[in-house]
Amino acid sequence: MTLAATTPAPRLELPPLKIGRITVDTPVILAPMAGITNTAFRRLCREYGGGLYVAEMVTSRALVERTPESLRIISHDDDEKVRSVQLYGVDPVTVGQAVRMLVEEDRADHIDLNFGCPVPKVTRRGGGSALPWKIDLFTSIVQTAVRESSKGDIPLTIKMRKGIDDDHLTYLDAGRIARDSGVAAVALHGRTAAQFYSGKADWSAIARLREALPDIPVLGNGDIWSAEDAVRMVRETGVDGVVVGRGCQGRPWLFGDLQAAFEGSDHRYRPGLRQVADGVYRHAQLMIETFGDEYKALREIRKHMAWYFKGYVVGGELRAKLATVPTLEVLRELLDELDMDLPYPGVDSEGPRGRAGSPKKPALPKDWLLNRQMDAVQTRDIAAAELDVSGG
């Protein structure tokens, strides 16, 4: 893949990120994304650059029940230096059991708790970005998880959003509770649940959280589409590291750009169409290894096609075929139809990718916003809400 020099960039004097006993030399974290950050995609990313690569979110209850899919989600390749797992849960007992299982069975080196997911099937049950509104429930889950993870000296972190909407912000309270409970780091996505992925991420909120929590690492997430965005976020907010989600979809080489930027190098990956096609094919091969099922693997890779070829001249008919590719053999035939000599298209291939959604009123449990404490009915219902929402 060709590397292109851009205007020289000064080295960003950011020390390695310390998360408990773990040192991340390049302070960049791959955000867990359901259906995307499996072992195949994590391998592609880490072959380009340094960082911490988090597996897809897994539901605590599914893990405790040892469903085959939950065990696949938390599996790691032998050469993954830090086995990072993200747990979702709404019941302190179940979350505690899941953390204990990961620790006692030596299945993770780092555990992250999901308090950021804005998807209705999650928030409607009081989970994800809806949960920190209930201070007692949030505190109980975090304290229980930290207590269990500390038994194995496994650092535990949390990822969250600003709050439910602009009238119900939770991030400063949640950040302080998490710090006081002993979490190793806090990551903030600068959007509310109501925003979904629309609009602009509020980096000023990330800066405020950094200021409010001077004694633990704070990580920033939201609208990092390029290495330059990451550098700008660090300079504007003072964060200790960045979390990259949608920006690397179809661009695993972004981690190479990020590492270069943090090291003060002006080299950036500018792949021509041949290199993108090679990357897609390798991704498909790795997916087959991950799932052990060619049809399932190729079905899974279809959603990546639009991201990989964003901005490149491919043609509508060929794009449509790539989006329904059934086998590795057909994928090879379709890729061979591309004009492999086409160069990197520049800004057309960069910037936002994936569905942003539109702002909407979050789906919440009944009377969720009436106060910040759980009532008797909500407490009774929450354990029943610990359903399997992982995998999509």
Report residue 219 as tokens: 């990580």
Q: For residues 253 and 285, state if they share a domain.
A: no
| Residue whose tokens read 């794009």 | 319
Whether 224 is covered by a domain: the verdict is yes
Q: For residues 281 and 262, state if they share a domain.
A: no
Q: What is the pLDDT of residues 293-348, one digit of tens each?
A: 999 999 999 999 999 999 999 999 999 999 999 999 999 999 999 999 999 998 88
Q: For residues 140 and 58, state if they share a domain.
A: yes
- H-type alpha helices, the chain: 39-48, 60-64, 68-73, 92-104, 120-123, 135-150, 171-181, 203-212, 227-237, 254-262, 273-291, 294-301, 305-308, 316-322, 328-335, 376-384
What range does the domain containing 160 cover? 16-269
Round the average pLDDT of the chain to a whole number and report it: 93
Place 357 in a pLDDT band, splitting at 50, 70 and 90.
Answer: confident
Whether 9 is covered by a domain: the verdict is no
Do 62 and 87 contact (CB within 8 A), yes or no?
A: no
Q: What is the pLDDT of residues 201-226, one digit of tens each?
A: 999 999 999 999 999 999 999 999 99
117 labelled catalytic: yes
- Could you give the number of structural domains in the chain? 2
Q: For residues 282 and 145, state if they share a domain.
A: no
Q: For residues 44 and 57, state if they share a domain.
A: yes
Q: For residues 258 and 284, state if they share a domain.
A: no
Marked catalytic residue, from 9, 29, 45, 117: 117
Q: For residues 73 and 121, state if they share a domain.
A: yes
The pTM of this model reads 0.94
Q: What is the pLDDT of residues 12-69, one digit of tens each?
A: 778 999 999 999 999 999 999 999 999 999 999 999 998 999 999 999 999 999 999 9
Q: For residues 256 and 283, state if they share a domain.
A: no
